[in-house]
Structure 1
Amino acid sequence: MRRHELTDHEWESLPALIPRAATGRPRVEDRQVINGMVYPIRTEVSWRDLPERYSSSLTVHTPFRRYALGGMFTRALQPIQAAADSAGNIDCWCRSTSPSSAATDRNGIRSPEEPDDRTLGRS
């Protein structure tokens, strides 16, 4: 395991959440792709600068986008937050009241689909 990769403990809960394709080209190992998703987040490098050991940036970014839009990251985070909360590792829920917390377009106009009570989670 390298510095910016998931530990075995962090990896344990993820395989059940990863969607499986029924057909298509042979897959790159899921853990390799997930570590490729984690690397740019932890190091703040661009997707194009992803090290080759994680496969191509397209191979990693395509499922990253699909998982983000499909809510996979939210589903993975919820049990982690619940476990941290029950262990007493989270102090309080925080709610942002600033207008910048609402989804807006380029002109600063708020999206009508965005609920008024949008929360950002715990801190």
Structure 2
Amino acid sequence: MARTGSPWRDLPPEFGNWHSTYVRFARWRDAGVWNRVALALACERDLGRVFIDSTIVRAHQHASGAQKK
């Protein structure tokens, strides 16, 4: 949802109302919660559990930053 290009409205129902979930996400983003989580995870010894590689995550079609032809 964050940078996948998926609309918040497509969240599975087990997450609750999409708007409430977005508002919570945005508040945590603005409060720096996600940065603190990333910093805490960076201290992990087994970084293989932290990193997601490109075989798992699809990139947006313009993710490479290449100029349009």
TM-score grouping bracket, smaller chain normalisation: 0.5 to 0.7
Size of the alignment, in residue pairs?
48
RMSD: 2.5
Q: Pick 1 or 2: higher relative contact order, CA cutoff 8 A, min separation 6.
A: 2
Q: With structure 2 as the length reference, what TM-score do the two structures score?
A: 0.55
Highest CA radius of gyration, 1 or 2?
1
Aligned to 1:51: 12
- Structure 1 unaligned segments of length 5 or more: list them: 1-39, 90-123
Distance (whole Å) between structure 1 residues aligned to residue 4 and residue 27 of structure 2: 21
Q: With structure 1 as the length reference, what TM-score do the two structures score?
A: 0.33
* 1:65 and 2:29 are equivalent in the alignment: no
- Structure 2 unaligned segments of length 5 or more: list them: 49-69
Q: Within 5 Å, give how 1:78-89 maps onto structure 2.
A: 78-84=39-45
